[in-house]
Amino acid sequence: MVAFILIILGLCLGSFVNALLWRIHKQASLRPVKSRKPKLAVNEPNLSIMTGRSMCPNCQHLLAVKDLIPVISWLQLRGKCRYCHKRYDDTPVTELVMPLLFVLSYIYWPLPWDDKAVFLFVCWLIFIVGFVALIVYDIRWLLLPNRIVWPLAVLAVIQVVVVATLYGGGLNSLLSNLYGLLIGGGIFYLLFQISQGEWIGGGDVKLGAVLGIIVGGPWQALLLLFVASCLGTLFSLPMLLTGRVTKSSKIPFGPFLIVAAILVTLFGTSLVTWYKHFLLLV
């Protein structure tokens, strides 16, 4: 039953993320540099995330309910707009990945289901929505927008405070999260400074710090960086060797960080044990 609800929720939120990304990108490209509030001309589409209705990115035709059923509408129309017949840029991948991650998180949730675990799980589902949004945005536009990273940071801080106060985590849990933040953000900040932003972007520093809080401790944060680097290397090496990318091509690092954070959160305890052994052996 829970799995079923999670699948439906994931499908809807996946669809929401698709619309959200397009709007954020569109707003960012409409916005003149340095001025925060774009002046909307009368006939410009309503791009507000809250009040704007879903529309076709190409012809701006408002979409009806029948066009908005996650995955099914996309399959039925073969990824094209019902009105202008142009192909949509986005695919139902987010709509499929979201429920998958929700259900996997439920199955592999590492804590026994008490009040605290339920609270953490709900926060985690929201984190996943942000994670998927960031992955897609970073792959498409090589950027981790603040408008997604900051809300995640705020939620992470709220979660830490609630666990420390309401759920009796106390000072120890606060400190543990703080070390996570310092390691997750600090190492990237150093890399960013040393390379003058060549190796990683400023967005990765912020994301590293936020994920450092979310994974919950110094060991987890170290593991996060380790797993992310491994994933990054595994992924880019074949492409470097086959010449599909060169050393100077920009490969988004955000997705590796996020996938690593998901692995560390769900399988952290066993991974941390293994990683401690690994570090002590070397």
Minimal distance, residue 26 CB to Zn ion, in Å:
14
**C-alpha–C-alpha distance, residues 203 and 224, integer Å:** 16
Nearer to Zn ion, 83 or 106 (CB): 83
Nearer to Zn ion, 21 or 200 (CB): 21
Neighbours of 99 (CB within 10 A): 21
Q: How far is CA 60 from CA 53, 57, 95, 244, in A?
A: 10, 6, 21, 35
Nearer to Zn ion, 54 or 58 (CB): 58
Minimal distance, residue 18 CB to Zn ion, in Å:
15
Nearer to Zn ion, 28 or 84 (CB): 84
- DSSP notation for 137-188: HHHHHS---HHHHHHHHHHHHHHHHHHHHTTS-HHHHHHHHHHHHHHHHHHH
Minimal distance, residue 81 CB to Zn ion, in Å:
3
Minimal distance, residue 79 CB to Zn ion, in Å:
12
Minimal distance, residue 87 CB to Zn ion, in Å:
10
Nearer to Zn ion, 58 or 236 (CB): 58
Is 52:23 a contact under the CB 8 Å cutoff?
yes
**Contact residues: Zn ion, CB under 5 A:** 56, 58-59, 81, 83-84
- Phi then psi for 247, rounded to 5 degrees? -60, -25
**C-alpha–C-alpha distance, residues 164 and 248, integer Å:** 44
- E-assigned strand segments in 161-281: none
Q: Distance between terminal CA atoms of the chain?
A: 46
